[in-house]
A and B are shown apart, each in its own frame.
Chain A
C-alpha cells in the first residue's frame, strides 16, 4: 500500500486560535477518501495545507512524495483541484475552458475525453456562464481532470445540487475510481461519503475523532439494530410474545426494540402478528446510519 497522502501531527494556528491540533491521516493510492466535519472544525484548513495553499505551523505532511509547502510545478502537474467555490471564466466555452487548462499541463488528457468523462459532450460550444450550476461544477471537474492528475481534491463537489445532479456527480466520481485516481473528497453529505468513499475520517475541533470504512465507523458493524413498529388499537404491549415483551420500550407513538439478533426477533414478532391478525403499522428495522454516528461524534444538537 503506497501512501499518496501521509500526515503526522499536523498543527495550524492563526494567532492564538488553534485550528488544527495534531491531525494524522493516511490515504492510499487509488483510494476514495472522504473527509467530514462541521464548519469551523479545521476541514478546509487541513485540505488547503495538503493542496499547498496554506503553510502549516507544525507536523509532517507528504503528498505524492513531496512537502506541499515546497510545491513545484512538476508536483502541481500531478494534482487536480476542484475548489469549493470557483467561478469559471463565463465568456469561454466548455471546450475553450478545458483547452486553456490543458495547455498548463505537460501531459494532458485529450480535451474531448475530459469533457466526455464529466458528461458535457453535448455542451462543448456553450459558454461557461450559460451552464447550469451542476454543469459548471462538472466543467470545474473537467478542468481538474484534463491534466491527468494522480490525485484529485474535490471540495464539497455536490453542494447546492438537486438530487438528480448529485446522482450524476456520484457516477462521475465512481468513474474516477475506475481510472485509478486517488480522490480526497470533503463533503457535508453523509450519504455521499457512504456511497463513494472507501474510507472516512471525521474531524472535530481540529482533531480526528473517527476514522474507518463507512460501514464500520464508530462501531457501526457491532451496534444493534433498532426494530420499530406500532400495535393496532386494542392490542397492548404486554400481549407480545414473552421473549420480546420485556425488552420493548415506547418511543413516541411507536414501540422500539434494540437487538443484536434482529432476524430471530423479527421472525417471532411477524409470526405472532400474522397469527393474531395484528397490523404492525410502519414496521422498520434500522441499523445506525453514518449520520447517527456522525451526529453523536460531533455532538451537533
Chain B
C-alpha cells in the first residue's frame, strides 16, 4: 500500500524530470518521428517483399519506427539517464533515504513504459492519418503484447547496460554503438529484402529484430488471428530475464569515478 503510494509519488516526479530535459525529449520523442518522415519520403510507399507476400512501404516503416521509439524510450533512455544519475551521485543520495530501491527502479521503468506507449500511439496515429496505414484492429492483441513484453525486456537490458558504461560522457556513445548497428541489420532502416541472409541471422540473435518482427507481424493486415508471434516474444522474454539477472547482480548505486 505505502509502496504503491511511494511508487506513484516517484513516478510523478520522474515524468516531470523526463519531459523537462530537452535532449532526452528530442532523442526519444522527436528523432523517431523525424526518421519516420525521412524514410517514407526517401523510399516512398513502394511495396516491401516479405518473402511470401508484400506490404506497403508505410506499413513496413510504421512498426519499424515504433520499434525504434520503444528502444529509445526504454533501453537507450534508461542506460543513459541511470548512468548520469549514478555518476552525479544522485543514486547514492536516493539510496541514503528510506525509499526502497525497488520503488526507485519501478518508477524509472514506469516512466520509460509510459513514454514508450505514448510513442506507439503517436506513431500509429501518424501512420493512419498521414500514410493511410491500416489500424490494427483484430491484431491489436499482438501489438499490445509486443509493446508489453518488448518494453519490459528492453528496460531490463537498459539497467544491465549501465554495468558496462564507465562514465557519463561514454553513455550515449556506448549505447548508440550497440543499438545503431542492430537497427540497421534488423531491418528498421533498410527493408529486410535488401539485407543479406547472414546479417539477418546475426540480427536474429539479438532482441531488436524480434521486437520489430513481432510488431511488423501485428501491423501486417495479412497476418492471421490476433497477430501474435509467440516465438519472437519468447526470445524477447528470455533476453529480458538475462537483463534482469545481470542488472540485479551488477547494478551500482555509487559512481565509478568516485
Whether A83 touches B98, Cβ cut-off 8 Å, given contacts A53-B254, A103-B6, is no
* Per-residue interface assignment for chain A, residues 72 to 104, with 1 indicating a CB less than 8 Å from any chain B CB and 0 otherwise: 011011010101011111011000100011011
| Chain A neighbourhood of B9, CB < 8 A | 100, 103
A214 CA to B154 CA in the complex, in Å?
Answer: 56
Residue A147 at the chain B interface, CB threshold 8 Å: yes
Among A87, A92, A100, A106, contact of B98 (Cβ-Cβ < 8 Å): A106
Q: Are B99 and A104 in contact (CB under 8 A)?
A: yes
Residue B90 at the chain A interface, CB threshold 8 Å: yes
Q: Are B98 and A77 in contact (CB under 8 A)?
A: yes
| Chain B neighbourhood of A76, CB < 8 A | 96-98
A91 CA to B81 CA in the complex, in Å?
Answer: 13
Q: Are B98 and A86 in contact (CB under 8 A)?
A: no
Ordered by A's residue number, 15 sampled pairs between the chains whose C-beta atoms are within 8 Å are A53-B95, A76-B96, A76-B97, A76-B98, A77-B98, A86-B88, A87-B89, A87-B90, A89-B17, A91-B20, A91-B21, A92-B16, A104-B98, A106-B98, A147-B98
Closest to A89 in B: B17
Closest to A97 in B: B13
Q: How large is the interface on B (under 10, 10 to 19, 20 to 34, 35 or more residues)?
A: 20 to 34
Residue B56 at the chain A interface, CB threshold 8 Å: no
A81 CA to B92 CA in the complex, in Å?
Answer: 10
Residue B100 at the chain A interface, CB threshold 8 Å: yes
Among B6, B16, B96, B98, contact of A91 (Cβ-Cβ < 8 Å): B16
Residue A161 at the chain B interface, CB threshold 8 Å: no
Residue B138 at the chain A interface, CB threshold 8 Å: no
| Chain B neighbourhood of A96, CB < 8 A | 13, 16
Q: Are B13 and A86 in contact (CB under 8 A)?
A: no
Chain B nearest CB from A10 CB (Å) reads 20
Residue A170 at the chain B interface, CB threshold 8 Å: no
Closest to A102 in B: B9
Smallest CB-CB A-B distances: 3 pairs: A87-B88, A86-B89, A91-B20
Closest to A76 in B: B98
Q: Are B96 and A53 in contact (CB under 8 A)?
A: yes
A123 CA to B90 CA in the complex, in Å?
Answer: 21
Whether A83 touches B92, Cβ cut-off 8 Å, given contacts A53-B254, A73-B98, A103-B9, is yes
| Chain A neighbourhood of B16, CB < 8 A | 91-92, 96
Whether A147 touches B17, Cβ cut-off 8 Å, given contacts A87-B88, A87-B89, A89-B90, is no
| Chain B neighbourhood of A105, CB < 8 A | 97-98
A100 CA to B8 CA in the complex, in Å?
Answer: 11
Q: Which chain B residues numbered 17 to 32 have a C-beta less than 8 Å away from chain A?
A: 17, 20-21
Whether A147 touches B97, Cβ cut-off 8 Å, given contacts A92-B13, A96-B16, A103-B6, is yes
Chain B nearest CB from A104 CB (Å) reads 4
Q: Which chain A residues numbered 191 to 243 have a C-beta less than 8 Å away from chain B?
A: none
Whether A100 touches B89, Cβ cut-off 8 Å, given contacts A53-B96, A105-B98, is no
Q: Are B89 and A85 in contact (CB under 8 A)?
A: yes
Whether A104 touches B89, Cβ cut-off 8 Å, given contacts A92-B17, A96-B16, is no
A88 CA to B91 CA in the complex, in Å?
Answer: 10
Whether A81 touches B96, Cβ cut-off 8 Å, given contacts A92-B13, A100-B13, A103-B9, is yes
Chain A nearest CB from B19 CB (Å) reads 9
* Per-residue interface assignment for chain A, residues 43 to 80, with 1 indicating a CB less than 8 Å from any chain B CB and 0 otherwise: 00000000111000000000000000000011011010
Q: Are B17 and A83 in contact (CB under 8 A)?
A: no
A53 CA to B252 CA in the complex, in Å?
Answer: 12
| Chain A neighbourhood of B13, CB < 8 A | 89, 92, 96, 100
Query: Apart from A52-B96, A53-B254, what are 6 other A-B pairs with CB-CB below 8 Å?
Result: A76-B97, A77-B98, A88-B90, A89-B17, A100-B9, A143-B93
* Per-residue interface assignment for chain B, residues 95 to 117, with 1 indicating a CB less than 8 Å from any chain A CB and 0 otherwise: 11111100000000000000000
| Chain B neighbourhood of A106, CB < 8 A | 98
Among B17, B90, B93, contact of A81 (Cβ-Cβ < 8 Å): B93
A147 CA to B98 CA in the complex, in Å?
Answer: 9
A52 CA to B92 CA in the complex, in Å?
Answer: 11
Interface centre among B9, B13, B93, B97 (most CB of A within 10 A): B97
| Chain B neighbourhood of A87, CB < 8 A | 88-90
Q: Are A74 and B89 in contact (CB under 8 A)?
A: no
Chain A nearest CB from B51 CB (Å) reads 47
Q: Are B92 and A86 in contact (CB under 8 A)?
A: yes
Closest to A87 in B: B88
Q: Which chain B residues numbered 95 to 154 have a C-beta less than 8 Å away from chain A?
A: 95-100
